[in-house]
Amino acid sequence: MNAQEQITALRNLLHKHNHSYYVLDTPTISDFDFDMKLKELQTLEAKHPEFDDPTSPSLRVGGGVTKNFETTKHNFRMYSLDNSYSKEDLQNWETRIKKQVDGPVSYTCELKYDGASISLTYQGGNLLRAVTRGDGHQGDNVTTNIKTIKSVPLQLKGDFPDHFEIRGEIVLPFDGFNKMNQARVAQGEEPFRNPRNTASGSLKLQDSALVAKRPLECLLYSLVGDNVPVATQMQGLEKAAAWGFKVPKIAKLVTSIDAVLDFVNYWDIHRSDLPYETDGVVIKVNNLQQQEELGYTAKAPRWAMAYKFKAQQVSTKLEEITYQVGRTGAITPVANLTPVALAGTTVKRASLHNADQIALLDIRVGDTVYVEKGGEIIPKIVGVNLALRSQDSSATIYTDKCPQCTTPLSRTPGDAKHYCPNERGCPPQIIGRIQHFISRKAMDIEGLGGETVALLVHAGVIQNFADLYDLSVEDVLPLERMAQKSAENLVTGVARSKQIPFHRVLFAIGIRYVGETVAKKLAKHFKSIDALMAANFQELVQVDEIGDSIAQSVIDFFALQTSADLFSPANTAGERNREMISRLKSHHLQLAVSSETLAGQTSVLNGNTFVVSGVFTKLSRTELKKSIEDNGGKVSSSISSKTTYVVAGDNMGPSKQAKAEALGVTIISEDQFLEMI
Ligand code: AMP
Ligand code: ZN
């Protein structure tokens, strides 16, 4: 075999194993052997770029980076679905159908998968393009990312048409979702809230190698086009499966609304056994000819109907209320429940929010409580079954001490939360602040995870984030499970973080209310930590979008000793914070905006507010907005009397146009804008 034949053989083999594993759920090769074959293919492909193929299974590992997803018009609009909630709704729907079409009507019942919709286009059996729903008329071209999803066939088999579109839903099954979250929590990162948002967020990641690591799946549900080679929806599903797509086998053909309801009622109960989230049933007129006669309303097909499941609710016993302490000292009460199955996961804990919420629902330990899970992954307690309350139960008394350091809690009037004021001695606050400092959006320290931070603090090796920069390999080696290599990685990772730009350092140090965006604003305005520390309240609130509470919080963070403290040996929080800053400075972290960032920034647009609307040719919307801000202008999302200019691209909405004209706001083109700067 020559190299080309070898490459082709390997590609075919890997396509086949992929299909068995991810579409049919019946592996035909060990993971190890698969990886070896894939490596072999990758090596050969690297040697022979002349045989590149946009459908090679090696693309599954990702690697392509997309900076801006190209907006792509749908050849066929991606509609919404009308919703129904009762038998009557469905019967009315059937009556409307029967008025419009002749002959008997049958329906397919499918599950409504809860993820992100996607439209795939195939040409000659190869995946050509994958586009998100967007606004239904146009979406984002996310092909590079979609190619990493292993249940999406890159090449089809059988009697597929030469050119067609197929639609489906990208979902993140519970199992993979939970594993991802466990790993994130172990890394000190925030867990993802729910599979649906995580799935749709994943499609927009710029780095496809990251998408490849997310256990996404693609479930297909309809062929689209003027000449699909089938007569019914059910045949379409069968064909799609035969060509190599993953099509859940749950779909059922029925001939009456009563049978539709049987399907709904069955899956309302059994959906918790499914590996992925569903939020209802989709009922479609089976005959495509009839579908065509029925057509579409402005928003949805007349031939399809969604039936939404009710939020799932179960009851279980509240065993104990415990309290968690966050990095800011905020206390969150947690309900510890007798484990109960709900919507595909086992629920053991639920947030109780705050003292007022507990009082409002009169929630007591020993109560049988109703737990509900809607869109959110964290379940909530929605009520108490008073009939089952025991005689000797007593009202919950909210804790008045920190569960971790026993310091009496404080509560500012108007704030729903209690706080532990022991900033310096309360372990979860100390650890939480450092975990925040190293997190991805802050200093992004590679080689150091949330658990290691906890170990370092407990072992007394570090007390604050400035201490990280004094760490040597010898300091961390004694830690449990710390090997030479990982110790070295940790120290290198810390050293590398000295390059992280100023605005992220500002976010990392954890000033209350100074999130990512506010940190950027402050960094841009003051340009250095020294200037920020010297700023007074007036100067702070003059910065765009910096309100009183942020300003006060910055002042407090750096506040120097007051006369009342003069005789106390302990420093004030402000002094300690200033000392930390000077330690970070001595380690050469970026505590001012770098000269590179300053280059390309002007103030020519100072005092002008812009609204950006439409599609642009030379710059992406994000680039356009950035260059407005870089040049001192302000970007706003809606037109008002305060707007100076509207930068209009193609397809600017007519209502925006009318509004701009009515208010006498100047409309400029992309080119005119570029001239201004
Ligand atoms: P909605 O966004 O609530 O109007 O519902 C429409 C969306 O449901 C479509 O964009 C699809 O992505 C999604 N959907 C999930 N499962 C199905 C299915 N089996 N058939 C059609 N649409 C589905
Ligand atoms: Zn405490």
Summarize pLDDT for 68-126 with one digit per residue, the tens.
Answer: 899 999 999 999 999 898 899 999 999 999 988 888 999 999 999 999 999 999 999 99
Q: How far apart are the first and last CA of the chain?
A: 60
By most ligand atoms within 8 Å of CB, the mutation choice from 76, 111, 113 for ligand 1 is: 113
- Token readout for 196 is 């649906």
Domain boundaries, the chain: 3-61, 83-308, 313-388, 427-499, 502-596, 609-676
The one-letter amino acid code at 240 reads A
Paired strand residues for 318: 337
Domain 427-499 of CATH type 1.10.150.20:
yes
Report yes or no: 607 and 628 within 8 Å, Cβ to Cβ.
no
- Of 348, 201, 373, 379, nearest to 278 by C-alpha is 373
Report yes or no: 188 and 453 within 8 Å, Cβ to Cβ.
yes
Find out whether the beta carbon of 169 lies less than 6 Å from any atom of ligand 1.
yes
Q: Which CATH class is domain 609-676?
A: alpha beta
Tell me the whole-structure pTM to 2 decimals: 0.55
User: Cα of 333 to ligand 2 centre, how many Å?
Assistant: 14
By most ligand atoms within 8 Å of CB, the mutation choice from 85, 132, 169 for ligand 1 is: 169
Using CA atoms, how far apart are residues 125 and 155, in angstroms rounded to an integer?
A: 5
Report yes or no: 644 and 666 within 8 Å, Cβ to Cβ.
yes
The one-letter amino acid code at 314 reads V
User: Cα of 112 to ligand 1 centre, how many Å?
Assistant: 6
Find out whether the beta carbon of 196 lies less than 6 Å from any atom of ligand 1.
no
* CB within 8 Å of 478: residues ≥ 6 apart: 459
Using CA atoms, how far apart are residues 168 and 244, in angstroms rounded to an integer?
A: 14
Find out whether the beta carbon of 267 lies less than 6 Å from any atom of ligand 1.
no
Domain 3-61 of CATH type 3.40.50.170:
no
User: Cα of 166 to ligand 1 centre, how many Å?
Assistant: 13
Low-confidence spans in the chain with pLDDT less than 70: 343-345, 374-377, 561-571, 596-597, 599, 653
Going by DSSP bridges, is the β-strand pair 252-254/107-113 parallel, antiparallel, or unpaired?
antiparallel
The kind and range of the H/E element at 533 are helix 529-534
The kind and range of the H/E element at 118 are strand 116-123
By annotation, the residues acting in catalysis are 112
Q: Which fold has domain 502-596?
A: DNA polymerase; domain 1 (1.10.150)
Identical topology for domains 502-596 and 609-676: no
DSSP label at 572?
P
Find out whether the beta carbon of 277 lies less than 6 Å from any atom of ligand 1.
no
DSSP label at 612?
E
Residues 12-66: pLDDT tens digits?
Answer: 999 999 899 888 888 888 888 898 999 999 999 999 999 999 889 988 888 788 8
DSSP label at 50?
G
**CATH architecture of the region 313-388:** Beta Barrel (2.40)
What are the counts of helices (DSSP H) followed by strands (DSSP E) for the chain?
Answer: 25, 20
Q: Which fold has domain 83-308?
A: D-amino Acid Aminotransferase; Chain A, domain 1 (3.30.470)
- Token readout for 311 is 């939020």
- Inter-residue long-range contacts of 53-56, CB under 8 Å, 24+ positions, other chains counted: 53/11, 54/126, 55/126, 55/127, 55/154, 55/155, 56/11, 56/154
- Of 60, 282, 78, nearest to 151 by C-alpha is 60
Find out whether the beta carbon of 110 lies less than 6 Å from any atom of ligand 1.
yes
Report yes or no: 342 and 314 within 8 Å, Cβ to Cβ.
yes
Give the pLDDT score at 151: 95
Give the pLDDT score at 185: 81
Give the pLDDT score at 377: 60
- The owner of tokens 């292993």 is 150
- Average pLDDT value over all residues in the chain: 90
User: Cα of 559 to ligand 2 centre, how many Å?
Assistant: 22
Q: Is 331 helix (H, G, I), strand (E, B) or coil?
A: strand
Give the pLDDT score at 578: 94
